[in-house]
Structure 1
Amino acid sequence: MNARLVFAAAASLCIAAAAGWYVSQTVAALPSHAASAPQAAAAPSVQTVGGETVVVVAVDAQRASGIVVAPVVATSVRAHYDAYATVVDPQPLVDLRTKLAGARADVATLTGQAKASSAEYQRSRTLFDDGHNVSLKALQNAQALMQADRDKLQTAKAALAGLIATAKLQYGEVLSRAAVDPDSKLLMQLQSGEASILRVTLPSSISASPADRLTLDAPDGRPVVLQKLSVSLQADPAVQGTPWFYAAQRALPVGTHTTVTAPAAQTSTPALLIPSDAIVWYGGQTWAYVRVAPDRFARRYVKPASENEVGIAVTSGFHSGDQVVTRGAQLLLSQELKPQGVATACKDPPECDD
Structure 2
Amino acid sequence: MNRKALIIISLQAVVIVVLAWMLVFYGKDEYEAYQRRDDEEIKTASHVAAEKGASVVSLSAEAQQASGIAVEALHSASHQAQLTSYGSVIGIEPLVELRTRYLAARAEAGAVRASIASTQQDYQRLQALNRDNRNVSDRAVQAAEAAWKADEARLAAAETQAGGIRDSMRQQWGDALARWAVGEQGSALAKLLSHEEVLIQAALPFDGLQAEKIAAIEVAPAGSHGKPVAAVYVSPSPQTDATLQGRTYFFRAPASELRAGMRVEAHIRAQGKQAAGVVIPNAAVVWYAGKAWAYRKEDTDKFVRVPVDTSQEAGDGWFAASGFTEGDELVVSGTQLLLSEELKYQIKNENED
TM-score range, shorter chain: 0.5 to 0.7
Give ranges in structure 1 of 5+ residues lacking alignment. 1-48, 59-66, 281-288, 295-300, 337-354
2:227 corresponds to 1:225: no
1:71 shift after superposition: 4.7
SS in 2 for 1:247: strand
Question: Per the alignment, do residues 323 and 207 of structure 1 end up closer, same or farther by CA in structure 2, a change over 3 Å counting?
Answer: closer
In the other structure, the counterpart of 1:234 is 239
Identify which range, 98-107 or 142-151, moves more after superposition: 98-107
In 1, Cα distance between equivalents of 2:58 and 2:173: 54
1:146 shift after superposition: 0.5
In 1, Cα distance between equivalents of 2:58 and 2:189: 58
2:264 corresponds to 1:262: no
CA contact (8 A) 2:221 2:262 kept: no
- One-letter code aligned to 1:104: R
Question: Per the alignment, do residues 233 and 188 of structure 1 end up closer, same or farther by CA in structure 2, a change over 3 Å counting?
Answer: same
Aligned 1:240-279 pairs, distance under 5 A: 240-251=245-256, 252-263=258-269, 266=272, 269-273=275-279
Question: Per the alignment, do residues 273 and 240 of structure 1 end up closer, same or farther by CA in structure 2, a change over 3 Å counting?
Answer: closer
In the other structure, the counterpart of 2:128 is 126
1:320 shift after superposition: 2.6
SS in 1 for 2:213: coil
In the other structure, the counterpart of 1:321 is 327
Q: How many residues align?
A: 269
SS in 2 for 1:181: coil
Question: Per the alignment, do residues 228 and 320 of structure 1 end up closer, same or farther by CA in structure 2, a change over 3 Å counting?
Answer: same
In the other structure, the counterpart of 1:188 is 190
Q: TM-score, normalised by structure 2?
A: 0.59
Question: Per the alignment, do residues 304 and 279 of structure 1 end up closer, same or farther by CA in structure 2, a change over 3 Å counting?
Answer: farther
In the other structure, the counterpart of 1:177 is 179
* Deviation sequence 1:1-45 (CA, Å, 0-9, x none): xxxxxxxxxxxxxxxxxxxxxxxxxxxxxxxxxxxxxxxxxxxxx
Alpha-carbon RMSD across the aligned residues, in angstroms, is 4.7
* Deviation sequence 1:75-100 (CA, Å, 0-9, x none): 23244444442221112112222222
2:151 corresponds to 1:149: yes
CA contact (8 A) 1:211 1:262 kept: no
SS in 2 for 1:228: strand
Give ranges in structure 2 of 5+ residues lacking alignment. 1-55, 285-293, 301-307, 338-353
2:122 corresponds to 1:116: no
SS in 1 for 2:255: coil
In the other structure, the counterpart of 2:312 is 305
SS in 1 for 2:211: coil
Question: Per the alignment, do residues 302 and 151 of structure 1 end up closer, same or farther by CA in structure 2, a change over 3 Å counting?
Answer: closer
CA contact (8 A) 1:84 1:259 kept: yes
In the other structure, the counterpart of 2:99 is 97
Aligned 1:31-110 pairs, distance under 5 A: 71-110=73-112
Question: Per the alignment, do residues 71 and 314 of structure 1 end up closer, same or farther by CA in structure 2, a change over 3 Å counting?
Answer: same
Q: Which has the higher helix share?
A: 2
Q: TM-score, normalised by structure 1?
A: 0.59
Question: Which of 199, 202, 218 is the matching residue for 1:200?
Answer: 202
CA contact (8 A) 1:75 1:272 kept: yes
- Taking only the aligned residue pairs, the percentage that are identical comes to 27
